[in-house]
């Protein structure tokens, strides 16, 4: 298992990394494909099976862990497992794509460790914890309890930023998008 480039985008929930990843996926010259993660969390809104995530039960997820099917996995929130299936990266590499990941900081750093030279690990930094709270509330896809859980985790995640190859400050979305495009363009062409 060794082929195209890997682009990791990690950040606290609500930092805007998903927006950045979607923007990059819209640039054909970057030749990117999104790594669809497996998760045991319930499906939200318009999310589609196999497109946003491979949704599965906790027991199915645990079976994949036992079979060593994951490149990395995390219990990101209690009973909400998330992981990257080895078969997903192999599938996208077989298509000749560079693979882009929208995953949590621990998972991102684990992939970087496994593929140090092939991977660009990017941390997306929100302006502040308060701003993060506002963004998550605006999104209103989760209960207050879940939002608070995500905020608590965000403080811990922010401390891992220096372990990434590069930090993008998402204070102004347009600036962050431009910076991300330039970084990824340089890396995939290097
Ligand atoms: P959400 O529930 O908002 O879709 O995602 C929650 C968190 O799980 C986000 O930080 C997201 O990036 C992370 N995540 C999604 N897929 C994976 C994965 O495959 N592995 C890991 N470690 N984290 C993931």
Ligand 1 pocket, mutate which of 45, 104, 140, 157 (most atoms under 8 A from CB): 104
Question: Confidence class of residue 71 from pLDDT cuts 50, 70 and 90?
Answer: very high
Residue written as token pair 């965000």: 154
Query: What does the mean pLDDT of the chain come to?
Result: 93
Q: State the closest ligand 1 atom to the C-alpha of 38, by its place in the atom list counted from 1.
A: 19
> 13 CB less than 6 Å from ligand 1?
yes
First to last CA, the chain: 20
Q: What is the CATH number of domain 6-188?
A: 3.40.50.300
Task: Work out the number of other CB atoms within 10 angstroms of the CB of residue 177.
Answer: 18
pLDDT tens-digit readout, 79-138: 899 999 999 999 999 999 999 999 989 999 999 999 999 999 999 998 888 888 888 888
Domain range summary for the chain, segments of one domain joined by + = 6-188
């Amino acid at each position: 298992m060794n082929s195209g480039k890997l682009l990791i985008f990690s950040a606290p929930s609500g930092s805007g990394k998903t927006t950045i990843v979607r923007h990059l996926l819209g640039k054909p010259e970057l030749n990117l494909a999104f790594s669809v993660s497996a998760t045991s969390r319930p499906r939200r809104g318009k999310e589609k099976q196999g497109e946003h995530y491979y949704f599965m039960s906790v027991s199915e997820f645990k079976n994949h862990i036992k079979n060593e099917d994951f490149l990395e996995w995390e219990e990101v929130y209690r009973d909400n497992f998330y992981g990257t299936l080895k078969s997903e990266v192999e599938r996208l590499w077989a298509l000749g794509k560079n693979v882009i990941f929208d995953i949590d900081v621990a998972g991102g750093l684990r992939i970087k460790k496994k593929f140090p030279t092939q991977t660009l690990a990017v941390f997306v930094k929100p302006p502040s914890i308060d701003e993060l709270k506002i963004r998550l509330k605006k999104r209103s896809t989760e209960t207050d309890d879940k939002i608070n859980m995500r905020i608590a985790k965000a403080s811990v995640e922010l401390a891992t930023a220096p372990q990434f190859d590069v930090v993008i400050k998402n204070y102004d979305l347009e600036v962050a998008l431009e910076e991300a495009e330039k970084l990824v363009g340089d890396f995939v062409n290097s």
